[in-house]
Amino acid sequence: MMESSFWKDRRVFVTGGTGFVGANLVNTLKQLGALVICLRRDHITPSSLDALGIGESVSFVDGSVEDHDLIERVLNENDVDTVFHLAAQAIVGSANRSPLSTFETNIRGTYMVLEACRRSPLVTRVVVASSDKAYGDQTELPYTEDLKLNARYPYDVSKACTDMISASFAATYGLPVAVSRSANIYGPADLNLSRIIPGTIISVLKGEDPIVRSDGTPVREFIYVDDVVSGYLALAENIESASGHAFNFGTNAPVRIVDLVNQIINACDATDTVAPNVLLKEKIKNEIDAQYLSGEKMREVTGWSPSVPLEVGIVRTVDWYRAKIEMWK
């Protein structure tokens, strides 16, 4: 468990707290003694909070990030000091199928939350979750924060807008807000099996060949959820120097997708029974060949750097899913 007296009795509001990353953030904040309130749009069971065993111990407000009056009331009535805005439509495929709802949640939701924070005299730090997808396709690797955002598709564009809106509130109104651009996040309590790591783990643990929905050659970067949570906390704790800026959460350890799948198979001790089912012989049209991030700016400004190597994080994640496998039977 992390140790930081900074968070003891601090009043914190988390949007997206029932999701995978948000639930892990809430869990850590509660362990550190923070007083946490989560915004909950849909009461879906089980949530990632339930999977972590803390669903019954969290305070909720039911509503959506697009409801400015609700957000403003919650901040004021609960003397909220810190806001973590993680709520988003986070699945790329869903975003492409339903761009309107994605833009409503990810873009409108962001400026509604930030406006409520601006109007609150007590909010002193805001962290907004963006994504490496905001960069779009780039020729320079690793991605650095000074690259032009080149998003083209609905999810990517919504995250680029999140970035720019946050920067606008910081520049125009002095709102103390920082943005994280994270690589692909993995770890315990991710219940969305469309993502490559949990989907592969469950397939392998059930004795099935994991499906690779590409030719396996794309290079991506994966960061363990505990590192992401510690990064969020680092931004909040260093908001004076971080405000108005975006920061990469990267590991400097890119990996080919097919190699990642084989690593998961090894971690599951299933090399003799399953093998990757690579669906395509050629790469998908318009798929980006490689995406990975430089984390130098984050280290320089906050002192944060990831501490969990991919091979260690994969083993921890496999162990968690193995213990919870009854959820998928």
Q: To which residue do tokens 């405000």 refer? A: 243
**The two three-digit tokens of residue 166, written as one number:** 């946050």
Burial environment of residue 97 by CB neighbours within 10 A (0 to 12, 13 to 18, 19 or more): exposed
Q: 73: part of which helix (H) or strand (E)?
A: helix 68-77
Tell me whether residue 153 is one of the annotated catalytic residues. no
Q: Which string of DSSP letters, residue by residue, matches 143-189?
A: B-TTSPPB--SHHHHHHHHHHHHHHHHHHHH---EEEEEE-EEE-TT
Catalytic residue among 155, 224, 232, 321: 155
Cα–Cα distances in angstroms (integers) from residue 131 to residues 89, 92, 151, 227, in the given order: 12, 12, 11, 15
How many angstroms separate the CA atoms of 135 and 157, rounded? 9
Active site residues: 155
